[in-house]
Amino acid sequence: MTAIPQGRIRRAALASALCALAVTGTGLTACSAGDPDAGTNGVGKLPAAQIQSRTRAAADSADTVHLSGNVVSNGRTYALDMRLKPDGGSGSVTSQGVTFGLLRIGAQLYLKADAEFWDHADGKGTGTGAADKLDGKYVKVPQGDPSYKRFSGFTDKNVLLDGLLTLHGSLATDGHHEQSGIRTIRITGDKGSGGTLDVSLEGRPYPVRLVRAGGAGTLSFTDWGKDFPLAEPEKGETVDYGRQLPTS
């Protein structure tokens, strides 16, 4: 029986130890670089339709998410930076160079913006009157106001994700990728023309990055399941404008 050199044994032991350390520390390892799904949650091996089903289930089950990016709707581009919960959300929206804040707790929606926003909204262009009174305040948006339906969807986790996490056309996988340091499997609709969605291969198969069909925006999803505070603004910061806000 041929003896195995001690140096080779030591090298093999060291390589095994390094592989174990890599798996334990990060869930990733170059030792299995030949298998892109090694150390992952396994969804990368599934057909595209099953991956989409798994990622939708993961997104629906998470209490919170941080959503950021651009959405094109009705000819307008909205830059979103929103944190969402089942019962509300908060964050900012930028459209046509104007940024405003949104806060919804239950059914109550608040809109916070500067005087320039309100001055543009009331169409007078004077920079006085109502615009100055509303400057920097949380303005209660009446549920019957057109702005309520228009903006509340940006604060509704279920409505927003239902409308966004949809790929159009025939589904297919498009290889393994990496988004913000997270390994992903990408699925596409109609070879990309119907949108693309990167799904996390680490932990739960949450959506990570969405490119919407037809150039309708790109969104990133982070902080799934991470709680954040959501509280009513102070009375001194709140204005009840009345039955209808200025038209924007």
pLDDT in tens, 98-137: 899 999 999 999 999 998 888 766 554 444 567 888 888 9
> Do 82 and 142 sit in the same domain of this protein?
yes
Task: Taking residues 166-186, report their average pLDDT.
Answer: 96
> Do 119 and 47 sit in the same domain of this protein?
no
pLDDT, tens digit, 9 for 90 and up, residues 177-195:
999 999 999 999 999 999 9
> Do 214 and 131 sit in the same domain of this protein?
no
Domain assignment present for 200: yes
Q: Are 218 and 69 in contact (CB under 8 A)?
A: yes
- Give every CB contact of residue 164 below 8 A, 6+ residues apart in sequence: 71, 210, 212, 219
The answer, yes or no, to whether residue 27 has pLDDT greater than 70, is no
> Do 167 and 134 sit in the same domain of this protein?
no
Q: Which structural domain range is residue 142 located in?
A: 75-156+229-239
Cα 216 to Cα 5: distance, rounded to the nearest angstrom: 62
Position 243 confidence tier, pLDDT thresholds 50, 70, 90: low
pLDDT at res. 132: 82
Domain assignment present for 24: no
Tell me the two tokens of residue 35.
């298998």
Cα 173 to Cα 186: distance, rounded to the nearest angstrom: 6
> Do 82 and 143 sit in the same domain of this protein?
yes
Domain assignment present for 139: yes
- Give every CB contact of residue 105 below 8 A, 6+ residues apart in sequence: 87, 88, 230, 231, 232
Q: State how many domains the chain has.
A: 2
- Give every CB contact of residue 19 below 8 A, 6+ residues apart in sequence: 29, 31, 32
Which residue would you say has higher pLDDT here, 212 or 125? 212
> Do 166 and 180 sit in the same domain of this protein?
yes
> Do 146 and 112 sit in the same domain of this protein?
yes
> Do 55 and 168 sit in the same domain of this protein?
yes
Which residue type, as a one-letter code, is found at position 101?
G
pTM for the structure as a whole: 0.80
> Do 55 and 175 sit in the same domain of this protein?
yes
Q: Are 121 and 157 in contact (CB under 8 A)?
A: no
Report how far apart the first and last C-alpha atoms of the chain are (Å, whole number): 87
